[in-house]
């Protein structure tokens, strides 16, 4: 049993993060951020850290170069991971007529002499497109289990292998004339995308410094939009739009490259430190991704502030915790509503060419759709460098409002074109491009990663997966009914489906969403836990200090118990 002096020495560790001033035996157990750690292990990890910080210039230059080179795999993995999701959901837009011909001919060959009627094709095509979200939801359910038990890197590797298999199956479905196989291949591929998207957000957030967190998280959505550009471009009749085997099969190339890029990468330092409790491997990972820098020990200590006794909690109990605790509940709702604003992007990506053909020729509609997605991509490049300068909160509210105005403008110009003069139809193109710009510049990318900045390590993958699961269900419901509703009610259907829900979501975010730019996760969570009423979060100043803030939110602190 410990004496009172011995207990004080061990308790001192939990508040200072430094060795106690008295002599310790190697067999002693000391308390470090709520965890019982043998003294000899702590001493080994911390001994000589001051000496390590005094690096010679040559070593420092080597560290900087290593850090810069390690950023390239992160960029590549983001681009290759997003290829399947972005590419396979955008080429149906411009290759719409080729797929219609393929499906009709397959039914004619099987004895249906007249092929499908228009209403039959509408529902079948809507099902083929939107079944993506059912598979995606399955992938999001797998994410917390795989990422927390096997790591972020392993989850990404599994996702990319499954994605490659899905691409192969989809390619084979074309010469076999089996639309049903195409249907199931999209379920297969989308499940991998649901897993990989959540895993990648966690991977990027946990391998980059706080001041670059927004930029790297933005990178995933930029890569997604870039593959949208390729998909719509390749789907045009001038390129691969009439050659569906080549159009689909080209997706296998980045699939293979993604697997080769992931294999040599290290697991994230935060996962190794908190989930695996391996400080040695965490330091190696930190050096791999950020370089051998003087403040690496402090960075690890800052990461430990997200650690608590909830690590390893059974998943169903963790789900109950999310709904029981105010700050986790708030993060969950903010994530859902932020993504609800961008639900309309999927029908637009799928159907913009079809929508514009109500006013223009097929060629003009295809080029206009390509212009929309290209503007979306260029805006995302600008937003990637602005997000860490202007902050998440003002950007998502401003661009969310402009995005809703753009979609409203499309409805107005479409009706003016029908009732007043056809020249107003060009306003539809302008509104569509504006919709793409406002989505890419801030709204879409921030909406997809904001949840991961509002939760601590234990609940991050779970809450993010819960948010993505609800959003995926919403995407399926809204996406599935959009084309039939448009055929029945024209553009008036956009008002109840997208415009009114977006307005309500923006109002909630303006009142409840905190600013996360330049702030450590534990600081954000602590502020959310303390707030008892609606406040202006914009008044909370960002902090870049590694030593600021307390350990974890008060209600999640474990009892300070010390064991031999």
Neighbours of 519 (CB within 10 A): 22
Smallest CA-to-CA distance from 529 within 448, 459, 443 is with 459
Tell me what the mean pLDDT of segment 123-143 comes to. 90
Rounded distance between C-alpha atoms, residue 53 and residue 462, angstroms:
36
The answer to whether residue 550 scores a pLDDT higher than 50 is: no
Token pair of 294, please?
């003087």
Q: Which residues, in sequence order, are bridge partners of residue 36?
A: 31
Amino acid 431: pLDDT: 97
Q: Which residues, 6+ apart, have CB-to-CB distance to 146 below 8 Å?
A: 154, 155, 158, 195, 199
Given pLDDT bands bounded at 50, 70 and 90, which one contains residue 532?
Answer: low
Token pair of 354, please?
């079809």
Tell me what the mean pLDDT of segment 512-535 comes to. 78
Percent above pLDDT 70 for the chain: 78
The least confident of 75-89, 456-470, 550-564 is 550-564
Query: Based on the number of CB atoms within 10 Å of its own CB, is 72 exposed (0-12), middle (13-18) or buried (19 or more)?
Result: exposed
CATH topology of domain 60-539: Growth Hormone; Chain: A; (1.20.1250)
Tell me what the mean pLDDT of segment 51-76 comes to. 44
By the 8 A CB rule, do 518 and 388 touch? yes
Smallest CA-to-CA distance from 156 within 209, 192, 205 is with 192
Q: Which residues, 6+ apart, have CB-to-CB distance to 45 below 8 Å?
A: 279, 280, 283
Amino acid 403: pLDDT: 97
Tell me what the mean pLDDT of segment 190-211 comes to. 86
Pairing assessment for the beta strands 35-38 and 29-32 based on DSSP bridges = antiparallel
Amino acid 316: pLDDT: 84
Amino acid 110: pLDDT: 87
Amino acid 76: pLDDT: 53
The CA angle 284-289-293, to the nearest 5 degrees, is 70
Sign of the Cα torsion 354, 360, 433, 419 reads: negative
DSSP one-letter code for 27: T
Extents of the domains making up the chain: 4-47, 60-539
Look over the chain and give the mean of its residue pLDDT values, rounded to a whole number.
81
Token pair of 461, please?
């993958």
The answer to whether residue 163 scores a pLDDT higher than 70 is: yes
The answer to whether residue 198 scores a pLDDT higher than 60 is: yes
Count Cα neighbours of 42 within 13 Å in the Cβ-side half-sphere.
23
Amino acid 537: pLDDT: 47
Tell me what the mean pLDDT of segment 168-175 comes to. 95
Residue 156: phi and psi, rounded to 5, are: -65, -40
Residue 343: phi and psi, rounded to 5, are: -55, -35
Given pLDDT bands bounded at 50, 70 and 90, which one contains residue 563?
Answer: very low
Rounded distance between C-alpha atoms, residue 495 and residue 499, angstroms:
5
Smallest CA-to-CA distance from 196 within 229, 223, 226 is with 223
Given pLDDT bands bounded at 50, 70 and 90, which one contains residue 564?
Answer: very low
Rounded distance between C-alpha atoms, residue 559 and residue 98, angstroms:
64
Given pLDDT bands bounded at 50, 70 and 90, which one contains residue 413?
Answer: very high
Measure CA of the first residue to CA of the last residue in the chain; give whole Å.
8
Helix locations, 177-278, DSSP H? 179-207, 213-234, 244-249, 252-262, 269-270
Given pLDDT bands bounded at 50, 70 and 90, which one contains residue 63?
Answer: very low
Amino acid 187: pLDDT: 92
Q: Which residues, 6+ apart, have CB-to-CB distance to 28 below 8 Å?
A: 10, 38, 39
Sign of the Cα torsion 151, 154, 160, 162 reads: negative
Amino acid 77: pLDDT: 54
Q: How far is CA 162 from the centre of its chain?
A: 19
CA-CA-CA-CA dihedral for 161, 165, 171, 174, to nearest 10: -150
The answer to whether residue 49 scores a pLDDT higher than 60 is: no
DSSP one-letter code for 455: S
Token pair of 260, please?
């080769």
**Helices 296-304, 279-290: crossing angle, 10 deg rounding:** 120
- Which DSSP string corresponds to 103-152? HHHHHHHTT-TT---HHHHHHHHHHHHHTHHHHHHHHHHHHHHHHHHH-H
Given pLDDT bands bounded at 50, 70 and 90, which one contains residue 20?
Answer: very low
How many DSSP H helices and E strands does the chain contain? 27, 2
Percent above pLDDT 90 for the chain: 47
The answer to whether residue 44 scores a pLDDT higher than 70 is: no
Rounded distance between C-alpha atoms, residue 48 and residue 70, angstroms:
26
pTM of the model: 0.70
Smallest CA-to-CA distance from 170 within 114, 226, 234, 250 is with 250
Tell me what the mean pLDDT of segment 256-272 comes to. 91
């Amino acid at each position: 049993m410990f004496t009172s002096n011995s207990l004080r020495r061990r308790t001192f560790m939990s508040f200072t993060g430094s060795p106690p001033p008295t002599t310790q035996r190697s067999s002693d157990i000391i308390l470090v951020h709520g965890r019982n750690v043998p003294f000899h292990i702590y001493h080994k990890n911390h001994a000589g850290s001051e000496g390590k910080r005094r690096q010679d210039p040559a070593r420092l230059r080597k560290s900087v170069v290593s850090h810069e080179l390690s950023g390239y795999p992160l960029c590549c993995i983001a681009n290759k991971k997003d290829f399947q999701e972005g590419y396979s959901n955008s080429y149906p837009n411009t290759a719409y007529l080729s797929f219609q011909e393929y499906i009709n001919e397959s039914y004619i060959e099987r004895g249906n002499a007249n092929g499908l009627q228009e209403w039959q094709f509408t529902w079948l095509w809507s099902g083929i497109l939107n079944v993506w979200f059912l598979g995606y939801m399955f992938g999001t359910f797998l994410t917390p289990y795989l990422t927390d038990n096997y790591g972020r890197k392993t989850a990404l590797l599994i996702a990319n292998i499954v994605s490659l298999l899905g691409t192969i199956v989809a390619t084979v479905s074309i010469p076999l004339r089996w639309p049903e196989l195409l249907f199931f291949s999209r379920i297969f591929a989308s499940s991998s995308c649901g897993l990989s998207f959540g895993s990648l957000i966690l991977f990027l957030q946990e391998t980059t410094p706080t001041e670059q967190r927004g930029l790297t998280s933005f990178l995933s959505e930029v890569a997604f939009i870039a593959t949208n550009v390729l998909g719509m471009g390749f789907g045009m009749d001038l390129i691969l739009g009439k050659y569906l085997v080549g159009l689909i099969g080209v997706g296998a190339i980045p699939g293979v490259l993604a697997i080769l890029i992931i294999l040599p990468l290290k697991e994230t330092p935060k996962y190794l430190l908190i989930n695996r409790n391996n400080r040695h491997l965490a330091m190696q990972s930190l050096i791999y991704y950020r370089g051998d820098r003087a403040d690496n020990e402090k960075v690890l200590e800052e990461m430990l502030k997200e650690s608590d006794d909830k690590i390893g909690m059974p998943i169903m109990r963790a789900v109950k915790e999310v709904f029981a605790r105010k700050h986790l509940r708030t993060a969950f709702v903010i994530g859902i509503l932020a993504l609800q604003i961008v639900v309309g992007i999927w029908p637009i990506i799928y159907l913009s060419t079809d929508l514009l053909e109500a006013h223009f020729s097929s060629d003009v509609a295809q080029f206009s759709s390509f212009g929309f997605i290209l503007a979306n991509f260029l805006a995302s490049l600008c937003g990637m460098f602005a997000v860490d300068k202007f902050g998440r909160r003002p950007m998502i509210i401003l661009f969310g409002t402009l995005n809703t105005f753009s979609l409203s403008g499309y409805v107005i110009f479409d009706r003016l074109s029908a009732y007043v003069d056809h020249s107003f139809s060009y306003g539809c193109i302008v509104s569509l491009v504006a919709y793409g710009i406002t989505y890419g510049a801030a709204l879409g990318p921030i909406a997809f990663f904001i949840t991961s900045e509002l939760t601590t390590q234990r609940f991050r993958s779970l809450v993010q997966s819960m948010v993505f699961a609800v959003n995926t269900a919403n995407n399926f419901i809204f996406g599935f009914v959009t084309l039939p509703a448009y055929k029945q009610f024209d553009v008036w259907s956009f008002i109840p489906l997208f415009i009114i829900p977006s307005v309500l979501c923006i109002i909630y975010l303006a009142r409840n969403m905190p600013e996360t730019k330049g702030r450590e996760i534990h600081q954000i969570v602590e502020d959310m836990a303390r707030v008892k009423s609606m406040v202006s979060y914009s008044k909370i100043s960002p902090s870049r200090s590694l030593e600021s803030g307390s350990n974890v939110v008060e209600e999640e602190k474990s009892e300070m118990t010390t064991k031999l």
